[in-house]
């Protein structure tokens, strides 16, 4: 008996603990508590406001703990949802994971807790990770699976995250849509049952639904008060987010959509799931948004703390009718208005098959001599002449059946050998097989060749106008076809990592038929995203409101388009269009030649004004004040510097009726003790600013009483942008 006790003591010391061990994972304002006892199940106990070690017992005593498995697996006591399900080589479908050890260590970007679990029978290891990102209130989680046996294990379910939420008056906010109407905000009470947010597109994973959500614990979610949890899956492929809601329990799981993607993990190999990032706020949805914005700028955007240029994109100006003369005149006019960057969009490439429509030439990335006889060199000379930077559009993951690439490499296309080839845009667009290393080299070469020949290129718009069509790869083995959705994304990530390693300062925009790739799986390789192909200023208020819940203004491309919008046909005043676009990364999507001299003069003033407040908008804290979804006739938001010495305030009249009520708007995020001077940034007439221009008002009055707008927002599509500066 004595020897047995001694052995147990030694084993306990080696494994790290004999008693229950609590691991506290904290950010400046939040904490997550895990219990991990060697030889037992890891337990998720608490997630909420920050606590210290001395508070842990109080959390238990207050019955705030959950005590549920942090990563439940299928096979034993199988009732309920599970985070993972597998089949071993002998046909056994069970897992029984217990904690082996726990490591806590610090990396450059955060503090990591690693819980190593092992199966009690099979050589199967699962590591569950939690990372608290430094200087933010975001904690991420993911798992790594190690097959330490000699024979393969098939993974059927492999969630990145699985966690409980306190059941109560729970509401969910999520974002759905379609082309031209992405990120439409939807809020609903969660009743008993299951709510699923999923995507099966394979490539364009945020056009229909974004892999992000907000969960309220206190009833209908509010902007600046109430307890709200926010989560987003950092993955650009198929995904599945599930809310399993019962009378007395509420479980959330998130990860790759495993349907048609079972994964065969060979012996001595490792499988890693995408990150799931989350934050907790006691100051409503706004607190969640600001936490994610800071995290994104610091860690999840390429050079996320460097303000972005004001650009003109050629697409709506000329569409496919690209030529040297048109590009030169657009640069000249835009430069005269104060523009900084010109981007030549689709239509510049292909010789055997010139790119005149969307039905040919993708893959043939050579300058069309017919359209651009002076080549990219001539365009760069024009840019230099007009003192403006130059950028270019590419769609390197795609090909057309009418292209030299397709003729030379039909085996590079995702297709099913014994079935007709499916096609997308123009009835000819197909997807390259990025599971194939040769194709990865080709796609990398699209960027590398352009940058090697023309190192002055400052910007690339990377587009994707097709979903993953035919589920078949000539590169992957027959018994690995179910890996396509996953291996495609891994191949894409390899390409993007190579690009970023060689060209870290190249500004890149993620576009996918508009806002189809707005997710934190792909954004670490990009500087910004194209929010939507819909440039209608009125609808953009709704689109940008939705996307701002998780993604910061510095990454949100927002362009001023034509007087008669090309998507909706709506006619909106130029001032309103600028005022909306100035709430994101300002750009233009227009033919400058068609603008009147008066409009050009206004644009020049507006661009100059944006330059003065660009750092506040792109790097400041967002406060959404009046939602367009609340049908109050107006919408309003503002950005404030962390020092609270400067701010930019926006308000838009989005409905127009006789004798309608125009509510006053209370600002937020200011210092109540400071005085602020207001300046009208975009007065329709330079010598006739709004009545608030030049006024000095305290932060206390602006936040507690607000500003009266009924005399300012009189006309249809009235709008106003104010700069606030501290008066010392």
Question: pLDDT tens digits for 287-317?
Answer: 999 999 999 999 999 999 999 999 999 999 9
Considering its fold, how many domains does the chain have in total? 2
Domain-located, residue 272: yes
In angstroms, the CA 560 to CA 573 distance is 11
Q: Does position 728 have pLDDT exceeding 60, yes or no?
A: yes
**Average of pLDDT values for 93-120?**
98
pLDDT value at 468 more than 60: yes
Task: Tell me what the pLDDT averaged over the chain comes to.
Answer: 96
Q: Is the pLDDT of residue 6 over 80?
A: no
**Do the strands 84-87 and 68-69 form a parallel or antiparallel pair, or are they unpaired?**
unpaired
What pLDDT digit, counting tens, does each position of 355-405 carry?
999 999 999 999 999 999 999 999 999 999 999 999 999 999 999 999 999
Predicted confidence band at 78 (pLDDT cuts at 50, 70, 90)? Answer: confident
The per-residue pLDDT for 20 is 62
The answer to whether position 83 is within a domain reads yes
Cβ neighbourhood burial of 231 (10 Å; 0-12, 13-18, 19+): buried
| The two three-digit tokens of residue 179, written as one number | 């082309």
Q: What pLDDT is stored for residue 399 in this prediction? A: 98
User: What CATH number has the domain bearing residue 139?
Assistant: 2.70.98.60
Name the DSSP class of 309.
P
Is the per-residue pLDDT at 14 higher than 50?
no
Please tell me the predicted confidence (pLDDT) of residue 3: 44
In the chain, the percentage of residues whose pLDDT exceeds 90 is 97
Say if 538 falls within a structural domain. Answer: no
- What's the CATH code of the domain at 710? 2.60.40.1180
Q: φ and ψ at 118, to 5 degrees?
A: -130, 150
Report the pLDDT averaged over residues 547-571: 97
Three-class SS of residue 451?
Answer: helix
61 pLDDT above the threshold of 60: yes
Chosen domain end from 261, 291, 321: 291
Pairing of strands 269-272, 139-147: antiparallel
Per-residue pLDDT tens over the stretch 428-454: 999 999 999 999 999 999 999 999 999
Q: What is the pLDDT of residues 159-195, one digit of tens each?
A: 999 999 999 999 999 999 999 999 999 999 999 999 9
Evaluate whether residue 655 is within a structural domain: yes
Structural domain ending residue among the three candidates 291, 309, 332 = 291
Range of the domain at 640: 624-727
Tell which of 248, 274, 291 closes a domain. 291
Of 684, 668, 670, give the one whose Cα is nearest residue 719.
684
pLDDT at residue 509, as a whole number:
98
pLDDT value of position 295: 98
417 in a structural domain: no
The separation between CA 327 and the C-alpha centre of its own chain, rounded to angstroms, equals 31
Instruction: Classify residue 274: in a domain, yes or no.
Output: yes
Q: Give the residue from 674, 675, 672 showing the smallest Cα distance to 697.
A: 675
β-partners of residue 250 are 245
Task: Tell whether 354 is covered by a domain.
Answer: no
Q: Would residue 574 count as lying in a domain?
A: no
Mean of pLDDT values over 219-235: 97
Tokens of 589: 């999507």
């Amino acid at each position: 008996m004595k020897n047995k006790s001694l052995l147990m003591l030694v084993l306990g010391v080696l494994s790290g603990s004999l008693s229950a061990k609590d691991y506290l994972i904290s950010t400046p304002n939040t904490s997550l508590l895990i219990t991990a006892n060697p030889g037992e199940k890891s337990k998720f106990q608490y997630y909420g406001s920050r606590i210290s070690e001395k508070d842990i017992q109080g959390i238990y005593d207050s019955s705030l703990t959950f005590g549920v498995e942090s990563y439940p697996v299928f096979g034993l006591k199988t009732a309920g949802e599970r985070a993972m399900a597998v089949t071993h080589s002998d046909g056994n479908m069970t897992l029984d994971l217990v904690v082996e050890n726990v490591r806590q260590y610090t990396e450059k970007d955060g503090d990591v807790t690693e819980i190593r679990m092992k199966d009690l029978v099979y050589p199967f290891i699962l590591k569950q990770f939690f990372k608290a990102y430094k200087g933010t209130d975001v904690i991420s989680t993911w798992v790594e699976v190690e097959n330490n046996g000699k024979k393969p294990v098939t993974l059927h379910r492999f969630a990145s995250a699985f966690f409980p939420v306190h059941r109560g008056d729970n509401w969910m906010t999520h974002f759905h849509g379609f082309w031209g109407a992405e990120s439409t905000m939807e809020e609903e009470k969660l009743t008993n049952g299951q709510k699923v947010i999923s995507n099966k597109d394979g490539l364009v994973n945020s056009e229909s639904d974004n892999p992000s959500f907000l969960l309220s614990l206190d009833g209908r979610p509010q902007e600046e008060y109430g307890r709200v949890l926010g989560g987003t899956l950092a993955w650009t492929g198929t995904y599945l987010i599930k809310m399993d809601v019962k009378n007395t329990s509420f479980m959330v799981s998130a990860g790759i959509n495993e349907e048609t993607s079972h994964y065969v993990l060979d012996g001595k190999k490792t499988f890693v799931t995408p990150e799931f990032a989350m934050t907790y706020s006691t100051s409503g949805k706004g607190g969640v948004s600001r936490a994610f914005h800071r995290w994104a700028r610091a860690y999840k955007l390429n050079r996320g703390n460097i303000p972005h240029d004001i650009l003109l994109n050629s697409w709506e100006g000329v569409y496919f009718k690209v030529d040297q003369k048109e590009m030169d005149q657009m640069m000249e006019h835009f430069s005269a208005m104060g523009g900084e960057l010109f981007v030549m969009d689709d239509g510049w490439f292909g010789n055997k098959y010139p790119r005149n429509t969307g039905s040919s030439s993708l893959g043939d990335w050579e300058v069309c001599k017919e359209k651009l006889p002076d080549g990219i060199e001539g365009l760069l000379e024009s840019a230099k002449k007009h003192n403006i930077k130059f950028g270019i559009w590419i769609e390197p993951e795609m090909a057309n059946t009418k292209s030299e690439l397709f003729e030379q490499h039909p085996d590079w296309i995702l297709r099913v050998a014994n079935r007709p080839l499916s096609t997308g845009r123009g009835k000819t667009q197909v997807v390259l097989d990025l599971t194939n290393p040769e194709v990865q080299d080709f796609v990398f070469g699209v960027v590398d060749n352009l940058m090697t020949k023309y190192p002055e290129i400052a910007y690339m718009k990377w587009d994707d106008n097709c979903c993953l069509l035919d589920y078949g790869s000539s590169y992957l083995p027959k018994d690995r076809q179910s890996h396509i959705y996953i291996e495609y994304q891994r191949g894409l990530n390899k390409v993007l990592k190579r690009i970023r390693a060689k060209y870290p300062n190249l500004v890149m925009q993620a576009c996918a038929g508009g806002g189809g790739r707005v997710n934190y799986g792909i954004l670490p390789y990009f500087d910004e995203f194209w929010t939507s192909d819909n440039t209608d200023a009125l609808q953009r208020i709704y689109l940008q409101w939705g996307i701002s819940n998780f993604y910061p203004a510095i990454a949100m491309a927002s362009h001023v388009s034509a007087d008669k919008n090309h998507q909706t046909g709506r006619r909106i005043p130029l001032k309103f269009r600028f005022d909306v676009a100035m709430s994101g990364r300002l750009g233009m999507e227009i033919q400058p030649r068609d603008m009147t001299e008066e409009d050009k003069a206004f644009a020049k003033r507006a661009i100059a004004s944006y330059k003065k407040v660009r750092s506040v908008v792109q790097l400041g804290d967002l406060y959404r004040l009046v939602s367009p979804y609340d049908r109050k006739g107006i919408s309003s938001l503002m950005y404030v510097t962390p020092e609270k010495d400067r701010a930019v305030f926006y308000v838009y009249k989005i409905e127009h009726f006789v004798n309608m009520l125009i509510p006053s708007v209370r600002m937020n995020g200011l210092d109540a003790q400071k005085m602020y001077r207001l300046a009208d940034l975009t007065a329709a007439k330079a010598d006739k600013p709004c009545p608030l221009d030049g006024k000095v008002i305290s932060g206390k009055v602006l936040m507690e009483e607000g500003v009266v707008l009924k005399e300012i927002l009189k006309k249809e599509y009235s709008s106003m942008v104010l700069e606030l500066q501290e008066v010392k």
